[in-house]
């Protein structure tokens, strides 16, 4: 393993060793590989570039770069010309073809199978197959590097509060062309909590959402035990309670499916849903309530069409329907905030 080895002189540095890949010399996602203590090579395989540092484009890479519209142009096209999108949206053939193209081109940006994780800065079977770690698309900066950014910048990362203020703090309100709002942000947060499930007992590098997929475990519970606690066992439905004529999740007391709530929340207000952290944020509980209502609504429709089905088949089929719905809406909503999609 490469690391800073104190007291082990090398030709490159008399006192300690610095991994030559710390300067991120390889461009265009080329992979830096050390060859001995003070040399490296860039592996440009499949990057579309070649040369010592993967900087010379191959012909088709060059052509694609020439023809490809800038992200701002794509965004403008996707968020204006409502009349054109209305036509596309109302023509199933066009809509399906264009949606498929957009989805595929976006998902092709993500490497599959996943490559790195927080433990391994190089490709390995372990990084690919051990799903207890979050995967990552880019290699981490080696721990042995002189600074957190490799070889440049300060030796310590700034306070996260400062970074948030510098990078994220809004100085001027710029409305979204679609008029999306806080509901949209909560939709994304609610959705992503099914695969971003940090296993805090082990540490921030670990996830307990094995599979990293859209399985709606945030609605149905992360395992069978929790799912069974949340189910009504009648007509495929999830447990619920009626308050002022409206459907809400059942209480923790009723389901015994534990939740995380801020201190001092009274028992009768502790609602119980698939994801235990949804007790912490009202916007997430709001979406959990909507999905609960949707599940039970779909069950009613299914039972009307299939009076012969038992509770299990109604539940399982409703789950599949909700999974499909959620998957379609979320990918498009996440990536494009396009209103002309299925949402
Ligand atoms: C994955 O890695 C973690 C941490 O090294 C380890 O505790 C766990 O057993 C590994 N899981 C598998 C399935 O190998």
Q: H/E/C letters for each residue in the chain? A: CCCCCCCCCCCCCCCCCCCHHHHCCCCCCCEEEECCCCCEEEECCCCCEECCCCCEECHHHHHHHHHCCCHHHHHHHHHCCHHHHHHHHCCHHHHHHHHHHHHHHHHCCCCCCCCEECCCCCCCHHHHHCCCECEECCCCCCCCCCECCECCCCCCCCCHHHHHHHHHCCCCCCCCCCCCCHHHHHHHHHHHCCCCCECCCCCCCEECCCCCCCCCHHHHCCCHHHHHHHECCCCCCECCEEECCEEECCEHHHHCCCCCCCCCCCHHHCECCCCHHHHCCHHHHHHHHHHHHHHHHHHHHHHHHCCCCCHHHHHHHHHHHHHHHHHHHHHHHHHHCCCCCCC
pLDDT at position 181 is 81
- Residue 332 — pLDDT band, cuts 50, 70, 90? low
CA of 301 to the centre of ligand 1 (A): 43
CA of 130 to the centre of ligand 1 (A): 6
pLDDT, mean over the chain: 86
CA of 265 to the centre of ligand 1 (A): 36
Q: From the alpha carbon of 132, which atom of ligand 1 is closest?
A: 1
Tell me which residue has its CA closest to atom 6 in ligand 1: 132
pTM recorded for the entire structure: 0.69
Tell me which residue has its CA closest to atom 11 in ligand 1: 130
pLDDT at position 165 is 92
What does the alpha-carbon distance between residue 219 and residue 195 come to, in Å, rounded to a whole number? 12
* Residue from 120, 130, 135 whose mutation best tests the ligand 1 pocket (most atoms within 8 A of CB): 130
| 133 DSSP β-pair partners | 206
| Average pLDDT rounded to a whole number, residues 321-332 | 78
CA of 342 to the centre of ligand 1 (A): 39
Reported as a single tens digit per residue, the pLDDT across 247-294 is 999 999 999 999 999 999 999 999 999 999 999 999 999 999 999 999
Report whether 106 belongs to an annotated binding site: yes
pLDDT at position 334 is 55
* 17 pLDDT higher than 50: yes
Q: 53: buried, middle or exposed (CB in 10 Å: 19+, 13-18, 0-12)?
A: middle
What is the distance of C-alpha 16 from the center of its chain?
39
Tell me which residue has its CA closest to atom 1 in ligand 1: 130
- Residue 19 — pLDDT band, cuts 50, 70, 90? confident
CA of 264 to the centre of ligand 1 (A): 37
CA of 138 to the centre of ligand 1 (A): 21
- Residue 5 — pLDDT band, cuts 50, 70, 90? very low
* Cβ-proximal residues to 89 (8 Å cutoff; 6+ apart), any chain: 95, 340
What does the alpha-carbon distance between residue 191 and residue 185 come to, in Å, rounded to a whole number? 10
Tell me which residue has its CA closest to atom 4 in ligand 1: 132
Tell me which residue has its CA closest to atom 8 in ligand 1: 132
* 39 pLDDT higher than 90: yes
* 92 pLDDT higher than 70: yes
* 337 pLDDT higher than 50: no
- Residue 76 — pLDDT band, cuts 50, 70, 90? confident
pLDDT at position 212 is 58
pLDDT at position 38 is 87
* 1 pLDDT higher than 50: no
Reported as a single tens digit per residue, the pLDDT across 143-179 is 788 898 888 888 888 899 999 999 989 889 888 777 7
* Residue from 132, 202, 205 whose mutation best tests the ligand 1 pocket (most atoms within 8 A of CB): 132
What does the alpha-carbon distance between residue 162 and residue 81 come to, in Å, rounded to a whole number? 39
* 122 pLDDT higher than 50: yes
| Average pLDDT rounded to a whole number, residues 94-117 | 81
pLDDT at position 137 is 79
Which residues contact ligand 1 via a Cβ below 6 A? 130, 132
Tell me which residue has its CA closest to atom 3 in ligand 1: 132
Q: What percentage of the chain exceeds 90 in pLDDT? A: 49
| Average pLDDT rounded to a whole number, residues 32-59 | 93
30-36 long-range contacts (CB < 8 A, ≥24 apart) are: 30/54, 31/123, 31/139, 34/2
Q: Mean pLDDT lowest for which of 6-10, 53-57, 64-68, 110-114?
A: 6-10
pLDDT at position 37 is 87
Tell me which residue has its CA closest to atom 14 in ligand 1: 130
* 340 pLDDT higher than 80: no
* 339 pLDDT higher than 50: no
CA of 136 to the centre of ligand 1 (A): 16
Tell me the C-alpha to C-alpha distance, in Å, between residue 322 and each of 189, 292, 326: 17, 10, 6
Q: What percentage of the chain exceeds 70 in pLDDT? A: 89
């Amino acid at each position: 393993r490469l690391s800073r080895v104190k007291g082990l002189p090398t030709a490159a540095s008399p006192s300690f060793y610095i991994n030559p890949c710390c300067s991120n010399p390889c461009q265009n996602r080329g992979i830096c590989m050390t060859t001995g203590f003070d040399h490296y090579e860039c592996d440009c395989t499949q990057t579309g570039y070649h040369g010592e540092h993967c900087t010379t484009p191959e012909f088709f890479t060059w052509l694609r770069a020439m023809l490809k519209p800038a992200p701002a142009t794509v965004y403008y096209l996707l968020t204006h010309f409502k009349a054109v999108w209305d036509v596309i949206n109302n023509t199933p053939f066009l809509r399906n073809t264009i949606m498929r193209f957009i989805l595929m081109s976006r998902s092709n940006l993500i490497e599959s199978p996943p490559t790195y994780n927080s433990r391994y800065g190089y490709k390995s079977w372990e990084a690919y197959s051990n799903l207890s770690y979050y995967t990552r698309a880019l290699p981490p900066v080696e721990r042995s590097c002189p600074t957190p950014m490799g070889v440049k910048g300060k030796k310590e990362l700034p306070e996260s509060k400062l970074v948030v203020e510098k990078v994220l703090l809004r100085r001027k309100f710029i409305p979204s062309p679609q008029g999306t709002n806080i509901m949209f942000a909560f939709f994304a947060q609610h959705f992503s909590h099914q695969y971003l499930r940090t296993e805090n007992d082990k540490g921030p590098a670990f996830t307990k959402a094995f599979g990293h997929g859209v399985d709606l475990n945030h609605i149905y519970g992360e395992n069978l035990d929790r799912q069974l606690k949340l189910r009504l066992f009648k007509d495929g439905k999830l447990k619920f309670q009626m308050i002022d004529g409206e459907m809400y999740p059942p209480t923790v007391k009723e389901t015994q499916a534990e939740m995380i709530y801020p201190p001092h929340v009274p028992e009768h207000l502790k609602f119980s849903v698939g994801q235990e952290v949804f007790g912490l944020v009202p916007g997430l509980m709001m979406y959990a309530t909507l999905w609960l209502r949707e599940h039970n609504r779909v069950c009613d429709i299914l039972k009307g069409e299939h009076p012969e089905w038992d509770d299990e088949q109604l539940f399982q089929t409703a789950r599949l329907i909700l999974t499909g719905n959620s998957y379609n809406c979320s990918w498009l909503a996440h990536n494009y905030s396009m209103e002309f999609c299925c949402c």
